[in-house]
């Protein structure tokens, strides 16, 4: 497992009975996680010192209950800063486990010894975009949600990256890639973090299992012989790391060589020393680090 264990402003304090107790900077949140099918003694005092609790209902949705929690606050990871705002379906606007991928991306960009051009698809609030830009890459940031792109711009500004070479685009990712192919544009690195299910700005339907392999095939046409990396992240149940390995290996190794690896990503749990799985990532590199 690749573990995001370099955080100072975030930690999973404890886990029990389908919930994870988290510290986001100065605030304690309790959020559901269906993987947590075990029970702990809940001995930590933070179980009774919550600032926010997301209650899941029987229909699969839920709602927040807040206790002295601001509408918005900021946390940092290394030199990056992120605005947090609890919103629909338990989210805060950041997936902290992705920090292990941000560090990997940053290392490749810094070791390339040349300017890299990076495409970030399904880019959300910009964690990977900011990591790539801070490492020196020019980034094209694409997400179908106008609100998420605006949020990512805010994160860039508070991180001191408002002048970084980032193109902020609200677009359907598949259609954007198709247009980039026709335009003859090429990238040194591609990042994608697609949802299990979603809709584009004009109602386009995205379903991970049906669409992901064809998108990988399309994206290989945006790479050139000296491209450096390809990263895909998945939270979709059933897409094991081995599936990500097979998809990337099938499309990338015959054309570009290099190396493919995939594994679970996760976050350490302070109370137990164990790591909570948080999805999977597949990585291709032209030159293994």
Q: Flag whether pLDDT at 60 surpasses 80.
A: no
Domains and CATH numbers, the chain: 2-71 (2.60.40.1180), 96-285 (3.40.50.150)
Beta strands per DSSP E along 147-220:
166-170, 189-192, 197-199, 205-207
Q: Round to whole Å and give the CA distance between 75 and 202.
A: 33
Categorize the per-residue pLDDT at 239 as very low, low, confident or very high, splitting at 50, 70 and 90.
confident
Which of 275, 270, 277 shows the shortest CA–CA distance to 43?
270
Give residue 217's pLDDT.
95
Per-residue pLDDT tens over the stretch 244-272: 999 999 999 999 999 999 999 999 999 99
Per-residue pLDDT tens over the stretch 113-130: 999 999 999 999 999 999
Q: Flag whether pLDDT at 140 surpasses 70.
A: yes
Is 12:40 a contact under the CB 8 Å cutoff? no
Beta strands per DSSP E along the chain:
2-3, 10-16, 19-24, 27-32, 52-56, 62-66, 73-77, 80-84, 117-121, 138-143, 166-170, 189-192, 197-199, 205-207, 229-234, 259-268, 275-285
Give residue 197's pLDDT.
67
User: What are the C-alpha distances in Å from 265 to residues 99, 285, 287?
Assistant: 10, 18, 22
Using a cut of 0.85, tell me whether the model's pTM lies above it: yes
Give residue 219's pLDDT.
96
Is 14:271 a contact under the CB 8 Å cutoff? yes
Q: Flag whether pLDDT at 203 surpasses 90.
A: no
């Amino acid at each position: 497992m690749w573990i995001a264990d370099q955080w100072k402003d975030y930690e999973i304090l404890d886990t029990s009975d389908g919930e994870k107790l988290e510290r986001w900077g100065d605030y304690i949140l309790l959020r559901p996680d269906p993987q947590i099918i075990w029970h702990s003694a809940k001995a930590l005092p933070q179980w009774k010192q919550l600032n926010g609790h997301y209650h899941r209902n029987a229909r699969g949705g839920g709602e927040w209950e807040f206790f002295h929690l601001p509408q918005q606050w900021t946390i940092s990871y290394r030199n990056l800063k992120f605005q947090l705002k609890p919103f629909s379906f338990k989210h805060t606007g950041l997936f902290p486990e992705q920090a292990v991928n941000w560090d990997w991306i940053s290392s490749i960009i810094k070791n390339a010894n040349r300017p890299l051009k990076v495409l970030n698809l399904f880019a959300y609030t910009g964690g990977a975009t900011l990591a790539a830009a801070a490492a020196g890459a020019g980034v094209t940031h694409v997400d179908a949600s106008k609100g998420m792109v605006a949020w990512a711009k805010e994160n860039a500004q508070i991180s001191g990256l408002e002048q970084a070479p980032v193109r902020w685009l609200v677009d359907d990712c598949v259609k954007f890639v198709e247009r980039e192919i026709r335009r003859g544009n090429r990238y040194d690195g591609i990042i994608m973090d697609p949802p299990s299910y979603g809709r584009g700005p004009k109602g386009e339907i995205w379903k991970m299992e049906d669409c992901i392999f064809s998108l990988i095939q399309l994206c290989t046409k945006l790479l050139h012989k000296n491209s450096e990396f390809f990263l895909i992240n998945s939270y979709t149940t059933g897409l094991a790391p081995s599936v990500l390995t097979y998809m990337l290996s099938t499309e990338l190794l015959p054309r570009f060589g290099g190396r493919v690896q995939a594994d679970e990503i996760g976050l350490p749990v302070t109370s137990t020393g164990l790591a909570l799985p948080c999805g999977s990532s597949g990585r291709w590199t032209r030159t293994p680090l």
